[in-house]
A and B are shown apart, each in its own frame.
Chain A
């Protein structure tokens, strides 16, 4: 298994597609940075909290930027970047023909798939932390450090130490959701011989699940949708932190992950390699 993992890491690290996500994150930071620099965010936020609160100083700092980057990135861009890599792991090799060269070697298919899933997890993890660290780094460079003022389910003012700890916990808690996206993309990648198909199908399923999660008519099924639990990281900014709810969401995400990887392993182990 370590040999297979080395092979997968070697291949992934040399593939230009792997680095698109990192470049994408850096590109996304630019408009956020410009918005915070020139969009008068303090005025908007003061308006949001109302005239009864008197805020001295500024809302905007590195911690604020790292928090603000989470919504657009963790709901859309990171899943897209992760699907681009995980969806390519099997289907991309099938299209290039290297899958058959790989599988005529003395290797078992399930460990091959698990090695691919492991690198997808590593990629998702690295990308999530890269988002947080780059947002913090750029934010510190342009806005400095300070307390984090949150306007979520009320107004919270977190000292910089606690805010940093909560941000670290939130980014870490976002990883399981990203891993489920990777598992879904890998499963779809096993079903098709074209990575674009797997990537598009992953994003479509994600949107369908988001849509169902947002419509009141589907309340009955919403607790079972994986997208409902992907946002578990936001609970880490609540006070008190709802640990039991977080644990339940994590269990759901783990179950989804096992289901997608298990299904992928089942299909892959029986699949005729015709590409």
Chain B
């Protein structure tokens, strides 16, 4: 394989983003309180949380826009506070809505932003425009762009410094369904084909489930959980049972030691129990006089997992 001569060498670290004990207080209120995150090279990391959970403030601390009251941020092995230029040299970021100069053309916008990262050739600017599907529109003023086009142009400017890590705040916010699909496809392409680590802040659970391999959930300034999406959801398994009569089945299930919770939902029973206890549960129900017509292992969606997590907390 021939190395791309334009591409600077990757930083040797495998942890591309590390936040340690981040805290931020506005007035008397701690908006972020002890947030620690770890994003590994190659991750598409979802940062989830309801509105007002502290996502944006954390995002701003991760990009140096807001100074934490406590804690540290390391980007690509460099301390953001002590060595901000080194830390941000190979990082692209979009914080909140795409912010561009409306009176400049797309290409001029890219020129402005590239100059801040050491410059980019007109070929590179054309390349990133092509990558985000804006080829041929580089000379149009940004004020004539739709929201989706602005979002794609903002991603293009984040791609200029050949980044190893891109941080995106609500990347599909305000887009129509078509625009959302386009941006998601672009993100998948960036992660799988360009090898860029992505950190996405979002409150769209389906989006995160579709795109991300790891997540962290934040609420009221605290990280509630962090890990591989697959692992987190694997832990959240259940058995769905269709049995008659339902009330008798519920009573029998509640007597079993290994059944932690029984919920009756629209005539079916959903139970929290080890999956390998399915045979024993079936036997107990049949022995107790129930007719079991279905016993299906299930897995929570990210949405159910997330809502359950927030419910537990509240």
Contacts and interface: CB of A to CB of B under 8 A. Distances in A.
B235 interface: no
A10 interface: yes
Interface stretch (B80-88, B194-202, B257-265): B80-88
Contact of A270 (B67, B89, B102, B118): B67
Contact of A106 (B84, B95, B112, B157): B84
A16 to B, nearest CB: 7
A7 B115 contact: yes
Nearest to B93: A104
B103 A104 contact: no
B95 A98 contact: no
B108 A10 contact: yes
Contacts, number: 86
Contact of B116 (A99, A106, A274): A106
A271 B110 CA distance: 26
A98 B60 contact: no
B96 interface: yes
B67 A108 contact: no
Interface in B70-109: 84-89, 91, 93-97, 99-104, 108
A92 to B, nearest CB: 11
A106 B66 contact: no
Question: Of A6, A15, A105, which is in contact with the most chain B CB atoms at under 10 Å from its CB?
Answer: A105
Contact of B65 (A14, A15, A100, A270): A100
Given A98-B99, A104-B93, A10 B60 contact: no
A4 interface: yes
A107 B101 contact: no
Interface string A129-145: 00000000000000000
Contacts of A15: 103
A126 interface: no
Contact of B100 (A4, A101, A103): A101
Question: Of A10, A15, A101, A273, which is in contact with the most chain B CB atoms at under 10 Å from its CB?
Answer: A101
A107 B273 CA distance: 54
A105 B96 contact: no
Interface string A241-275: 00000000000000000000000000000101110
A105 B117 contact: yes
Nearest to B103: A14
B272 interface: no
B21 interface: no
A3 interface: yes
B157 A101 contact: yes
B65 A103 contact: yes
A6 B66 contact: no
A105 B111 contact: no
B64 interface: yes
Contacts of B95: 100-101, 104
A108 B85 CA distance: 7
B65 A106 contact: no
Contacts of A14: 101, 103-104, 108
A3 B99 CA distance: 20
A105 B75 CA distance: 13
B113 interface: yes
B63 interface: yes
A10 B109 CA distance: 10
B42 interface: no
Interface in A1-26: 3-4, 6-7, 10-11, 14-16
B112 A11 contact: yes
Contacts of A6: 115
A272 B103 contact: no
A54 B157 CA distance: 71
Interface string A57-75: 0000000000000000000
A96 interface: yes
Nearest to A15: B103
A97 interface: yes
A106 B86 contact: yes
7 contacts: A10-B104, A14-B104, A15-B103, A106-B86, A106-B91, A107-B85, A272-B65
The 7 closest A-B pairs by CB, nearest first: A97-B99, A105-B116, A273-B65, A101-B99, A106-B88, A104-B93, A106-B85
Interface of B: 60, 63-67, 84-89, 91, 93-97, 99-104, 108, 111-113, 115-119, 154, 157, 161
Given A4-B116, A14-B104, A15-B103, 12 more contacts: A3-B115, A3-B119, A97-B96, A101-B100, A101-B154, A102-B116, A104-B95, A105-B113, A105-B117, A106-B91, A106-B118, A273-B60
